């Protein structure tokens, strides 16, 4: 059929099963928004900032496993969205982001709201397109969704000049995507898998190193089977939280810069690292030359460029984690779990020596207590989003994650302002779960305008603001490494968060005691509206353990011994 380019965008979204688009209109994308007004195949949620539109699409994608979709206009509309693209790129989040562009005749003229969006997005997208002919739109859009959601997922950017959205051309979406230069290798090499399983059988101190690729591959439950069948201890990266249930006896904890003592020592003492969907990020490895230096490495990843990029893989396996793990299970019969009993006891001793804990305070709420308490009260019924900073690490350390896609955060880019819009997307994707956003008094102000989005669309996100009147993580580094020179991190001058929430039409609470917190959380959930719960917490609390940047995992700064809970 002959339709306009703008209509093609709508038809393609419906054909791809898109149910939600997050976006913000403008001049260059107006033709598409006019078609959005006329259709009823999906909902469009107007955010109050383009960065928030992409973060909301990220939250939706991370919680649902589907491709998230955002739409923005040219110029500043696009540049505002770049942070979201970069965040999605480094965290392997499947997105299709459509941007308007000035008409073809104005490209290169420094026209109003013109920017080289394709040049800017090239380093922070999996792929991008500038569409110069409406006849190409069906192919481009179908390829965009295919590329975003297959292989190692990532964001795909489609830039469409305004006159192209007005062109009329033939629309046909009934074809298969065939890209000669893009054919992700999903099936692991059987011989390599057999060699890897033989190495596991011979190892004395093997350790599963579970990464975010497991979540992306929807492989968590297959990984649980493999871990339980072999009874090999496991550590999770920040992005892999929820792969194993928090109460699994074989889960040590999170490892890395703020990982547990037991997890980091296990990685330092292992003789075989079994890395599944992990990329050996610097926040996990610490000093590379000291990382698991007595261990061989099995590395399974869908992205061949990630294998041996930072740590040499003795047993490299390129493939989809889920498919590879299923094959590994077929070869697990000759592995004797009893061989690792002494290794499990060693790790248990590490945990008893320095457990992951915190010191209670009778005078002021500890932020770790708040995270644990939400876990006690809500547990599996909540999805947890976070902003970036100390609250993010405490959430990863102390929340009792029970399932994959329960923890939504900005990992690789570390984007303050991610949490609130992401939590909106999470709630849209999983309406049956309570959407909690743990944030700080610094992060929450970076996309605070999304209160209006949540109020307008009746999206009941509960934002728990752990207020220490500091840029907490930077302050922690200044305390430990800069002789307490608190340069530009004191946030003592802050808005009234209760009144701020109420001004937008939400609800606000300020709490200082455990009883007040319990009452506020219960009331916020019962009222089912967007809420701010400002929790006044200990100002100088540090995230511990901590591996100093560039240090070895086994050289951790630890919590000082006191009476603990």
Task: For residue 349, count other CB atoms closer than 10 A to its CB.
Answer: 11
pLDDT band at 486 (very low <50, low <70, confident <90, very high): very high
For residue 561, give every residue at least 6 positions away whose Cβ sits within 8 Å of its Cβ, in sequence order, or none: none
Q: If we measure between CA atoms, which residue out of 219, 243, 173, 209 comes closest to residue 396?
A: 243
Its CATH class, for the domain covering 367-536, is alpha beta
DSSP helix, strand, coil percent of the chain (3-state; round to 5): 40, 20, 40
Distances (CA, A) of 219 to 49, 91, 242, 275, 438: 34, 17, 11, 14, 26
pLDDT band at 428 (very low <50, low <70, confident <90, very high): very high
Topology of the domain comprising 190-353: Rossmann fold (3.40.50)
- Per the annotation, the verdict on 7 as an active-site residue is no
pLDDT tens figures, 400-409: 999 999 999 9
Across 286-296, average pLDDT: 96
Please give the DSSP secondary-structure letter assigned to residue 172. -
pLDDT band at 565 (very low <50, low <70, confident <90, very high): very low
Q: Which of 8, 239, 257, 473 is catalytic?
A: 473
Q: What is the DSSP string of 326-369?
A: HHHHHT-TT--GGGGHHHHHHHHHHHHHS-S-----SSSB-HHH
Across 420-426, average pLDDT: 98
The phi, psi pair for 318, rounded to 5°, reads -90, 125
The token pair at 353 is 């020596």
For residue 247, give every residue at least 6 positions away whose Cβ sits within 8 Å of its Cβ, in sequence order, or none: 400
Q: If we measure between CA atoms, which residue out of 253, 252, 308, 299 comes closest to residue 272?
A: 299
Q: Which of 113, 290, 502, 557 is catalytic?
A: 113
pLDDT tens figures, 25-34: 999 999 999 9
Distances (CA, A) of 161 to 117, 190, 273, 505: 11, 47, 49, 37
The token pair at 304 is 């061949």
In the predicted structure, residue 494 carries a pLDDT above the cut 80: yes
Q: Which of 162, 322, 372, 427 is catalytic?
A: 162
CATH superfamily of 2-170: Thiamin diphosphate (ThDP)-binding fold, Pyr/PP domains (3.40.50.970)
Burial, 352: exposed, middle or buried (Cβ in 10 Å; 0-12, 13-18, 19+)?
A: exposed
Return the pLDDT at 363: 77
| Distance (Å, whole) CA 426 – CA 408 | 8
Q: If we measure between CA atoms, which residue out of 240, 319, 235 comes closest to residue 270?
A: 235
Q: What is the DSSP string of 38-85?
A: H--SSEEEE-SSHHHHHHHHHHHHHHHSSPEEEEE-STHHHHHHHHHH
Please give the DSSP secondary-structure letter assigned to residue 360. -
pLDDT tens figures, 218-263: 999 999 999 999 999 999 999 999 999 999 999 999 999 999 999 9
Domain chopping of the chain, boundaries: 2-170, 190-353, 367-536
The token pair at 252 is 């040590």
Return the pLDDT at 361: 79
Same fold for the pair 2-170 and 367-536: yes
| Distance (Å, whole) CA 364 – CA 360 | 9
Q: Do 420 and 405 meet the contact criterion of CB atoms below 8 Å apart? A: no
pLDDT tens figures, 298-343: 999 999 999 999 999 999 999 999 999 999 999 999 999 999 999 9
Return the pLDDT at 536: 97
Give me the residue label for tokens 């950017």: 157
Return the pLDDT at 561: 74
Return the pLDDT at 515: 96
Q: If we measure between CA atoms, which residue out of 435, 393, 417, 355 comes closest to residue 60?
A: 435
- Per the annotation, the verdict on 112 as an active-site residue is yes
Distances (CA, A) of 559 to 194, 242, 267, 390: 42, 25, 20, 15
Task: For residue 40, count other CB atoms closer than 10 A to its CB.
Answer: 6
Burial, 560: exposed, middle or buried (Cβ in 10 Å; 0-12, 13-18, 19+)?
A: exposed
Name the β-bridge partners of 222: none
Peptide bond into 545 cis (omega under 30): yes
Return the pLDDT at 364: 85
| Distance (Å, whole) CA 278 – CA 266 | 17
Q: Which of 39, 43, 112, 522 is catalytic?
A: 112
Q: Do 534 and 511 meet the contact criterion of CB atoms below 8 Å apart? A: yes
In the predicted structure, residue 474 carries a pLDDT above the cut 70: yes
Return the pLDDT at 511: 98
In the predicted structure, residue 145 carries a pLDDT above the cut 50: yes
pLDDT tens figures, 149-204: 999 999 999 999 999 999 999 999 999 999 999 999 999 999 999 999 999 999 99
Return the pLDDT at 560: 86
- Per the annotation, the verdict on 162 as an active-site residue is yes
pLDDT band at 564 (very low <50, low <70, confident <90, very high): very low
DSSP H stretches of helix in 167-253: 190-202, 213-216, 220-230
pLDDT tens figures, 343-395: 999 999 999 999 999 998 777 899 999 999 999 999 999 999 999 999 999 99
């Amino acid at each position: 059929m002959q339709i306009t380019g703008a209509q093609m965008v709508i038809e393609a979204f419906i054909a791809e099963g898109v149910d939600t688009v997050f976006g913000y209109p403008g001049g260059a994308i107006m033709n598409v928004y006019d078609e959005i007004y006329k259709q009823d195949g999906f909902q469009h949620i107007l955010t109050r900032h383009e960065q928030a539109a992409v973060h909301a699409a990220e939250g939706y994608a991370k919680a649902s496993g589907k491709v998230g979709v955002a739409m923005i206009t040219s110029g500043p509309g696009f540049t505002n969205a770049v942070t979201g693209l970069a965040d999605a790129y480094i965290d392997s989040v499947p997105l299709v982001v459509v941007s308007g562009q000035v008409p073809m005749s104005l490209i290169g003229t420094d026209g109003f709201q013109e920017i080289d969006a394709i040049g800017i997005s090239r380093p922070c997208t999996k792929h991008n397109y500038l569409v110069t002919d409406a006849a190409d739109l069906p192919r481009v859009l179908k390829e965009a969704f295919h590329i975003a959601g297959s292989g190692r997922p990532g964001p795909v950017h489609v830039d469409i000049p305004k006159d192209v959205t007005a062109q009329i051309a033939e629309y046909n979406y009934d074809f298969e995507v065939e890209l000669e230069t893009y054919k992700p290798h999903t099936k692991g090499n059987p011989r390599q898998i057999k060699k890897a399983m033989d190495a596991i059988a011979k190892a004395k101190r093997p350790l599963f190193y579970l990464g975010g690729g497991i979540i992306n591959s929807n492989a968590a439950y297959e990984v649980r089977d493999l871990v339980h069948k072999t009874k090999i201890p496991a550590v999770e990266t920040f992005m892999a939280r929820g792969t194993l249930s928090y109460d699994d006896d074989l889960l040590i904890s999170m490892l890395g810069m703020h990982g547990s003592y037991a997890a980091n020592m296990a990685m330092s003492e292992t003789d075989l690292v079994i890395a599944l969907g992990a990329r050996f990020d610097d926040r996990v490895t610490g000093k590379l030359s000291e990382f698991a230096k007595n261990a061989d490495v099995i590395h399974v990843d869908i992205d061949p460029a990630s294998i041996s990029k930072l740590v040499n893989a003795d047993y490299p396996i390129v493939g989809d984690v889920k498919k590879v793990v299923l094959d590994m299970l077929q070869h697990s019969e000759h592995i004797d779990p009893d061989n690792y009993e002494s290794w499990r006891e060693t790790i248990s001793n590490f945990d008893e020596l320095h457990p992951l804990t915190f010191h209670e305070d009778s005078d002021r709420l500890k932020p770790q207590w708040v995270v644990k308490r939400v876990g006690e009260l809500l547990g599996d019924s909540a999805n947890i989003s976070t902003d970036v900073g100390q609250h993010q690490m405490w959430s990863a350390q102390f929340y009792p994650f029970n399932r994959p896609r329960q923890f939504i955060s900005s990992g690789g880019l570390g984007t303050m302002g991610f949490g609130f819009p992401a939590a909106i997307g999470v709630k849209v994707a999983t309406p049956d779960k309570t959407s909690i956003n743990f944030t700080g008094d610094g992060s929450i102000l970076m996309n605070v305008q999304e209160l209006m989005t949540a109020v307008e669309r009746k999206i009941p996100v509960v934002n728990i603001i752990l207020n220490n009147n500091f840029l907490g993580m930077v302050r922690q580094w200044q305390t430990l490494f800069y002789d307490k020179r608190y340069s530009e991190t004191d946030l003592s001058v802050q808005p009234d968060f209760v009144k701020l929430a109420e001004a937008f039409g939400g609800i606000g609470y300020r709490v200082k005691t455990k009883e007040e917190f319990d009452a506020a959380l219960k009331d916020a959930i019962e009222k089912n509206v967007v809420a701010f719960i400002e929790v006044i917490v200990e100002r100088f609390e540090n995230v511990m353990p901590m591996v100093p940047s560039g240090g070895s995992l086994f050289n951790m700064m630890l919590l000082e011994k006191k009476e603990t809970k």
